[in-house]
Amino acid sequence: MENNAEKDPKYWVNMGYSLTAEGKDEQAKKYYKKALELDPENPAALINLGKAQSLTGELKEAKKNLLYAIKLYPESVEPWINLGIVYGEEKKLDEEMNCYNKALDIDPSIPAIWHNRGYLYRQKEMFKEAISDYQQALRLRPKHIQTLLYKAIAHFHLKEFDDADKCLDEILDIDPNHVDALANKANIFSQKGKICRRIRIHKPVVKN
C-alpha cells in the first residue's frame, strides 16, 4: 500500500535527486518516470529525467523530455542548458549555441552557461570569443579551475603566452600539483624558450 508521500510526485523527484547525487543515473530515471506518471508536466521530473537520460546515452529520449519541458516552461533556464549539452553530444554545434544563447537571454548570472558557451567557441576555434565568455564566467565564479584551464588553452592558441601563464598560475595557487596546469606550463615554456619562475620542471611539487 502506498503512503500519502508516495502519491506526491515531489517524493519521487527527491528520491531521484538522491540517486543522481550518488552518480546512479540509471536508477534515478525510474523515480523521475514515476513522478511523471503522477504529474506528466512536472518540471523537475522532466528536466532531471532528461539530464539522467543524456548521461546514460539516451540522447533521443533526453531531447524529447527537455523539449517538452521548454514547451511547458519556456522561461526556465535549466532545460535550455541541458538541451545544449545534448546537442553538443550529438555534435550539433549550431543548435547547441542557440540553446546557450537562449539560456543567457533568460538568466545571464549563471556561470556554467558562459563556461559551456566558451567551450563551444573553443571547439569552433573562435578563441577570442571563448576568452570573453570565460572571463564572464570567472567574474561570476572566481577561481574555478576548469574555466581557468580552458581560458589558458584559448590564450595559448592565440599565442598569448603571458596571459595563459597567468591563468595557470591561478590554478597552481589553488592546487600546486594540478597535472593539466603543470603540463600546459611546460608547453608554454617550450614555446617561449625560457624557464618560468613558478615551477621547476625537473622537480615537481609533491604533496606530503
Domain ranges of the chain: 4-143, 144-208
Enter the pTM of the model: 0.83
Joined together, the cell numbers standing for residue 1 give 500500500
Tell me the CATH number of domain 4-143, given options 2.40.10.220, 1.25.40.10, 3.20.20.150, 3.40.1130.10. Answer: 1.25.40.10
Indicate the pLDDT class of residue 191, thresholds 50, 70 and 90: confident
> What CATH number labels 144-208?
1.25.40.10
Q: What pLDDT score does 106 carry?
A: 98
97-119 burial string, b = 16+ CB within 10 Å, else e?
A: bebbebbbeeeeebbbbbbbbbb
Q: What pLDDT score does 199 carry?
A: 44
Indicate the pLDDT class of residue 194, thresholds 50, 70 and 90: low
Distance CA 165, CA 163 (A): 5
Answer yes or no: same fold for 4-143 and 144-208: yes
> What is the mean predicted confidence (pLDDT) over 124-132?
98
Q: What pLDDT score does 132 carry?
A: 99
Joined together, the cell numbers standing for residue 80 give 535550455
Closest Cα partner for 119 from 106, 137, 107?
Answer: 137
Q: What pLDDT score does 56 carry?
A: 96
Whether the Cβ atoms of residue 56 and residue 29 lie closer than 8 Å to each other: yes
Least confident of 30-44, 52-66, 88-102, 182-196: 182-196
Q: What pLDDT score does 195 carry?
A: 46
**Chain centre distance of CA 195:** 33
Q: What pLDDT score does 198 carry?
A: 46
Least confident of 77-81, 120-124, 196-200: 196-200
In the chain, % of residues over pLDDT 90: 87
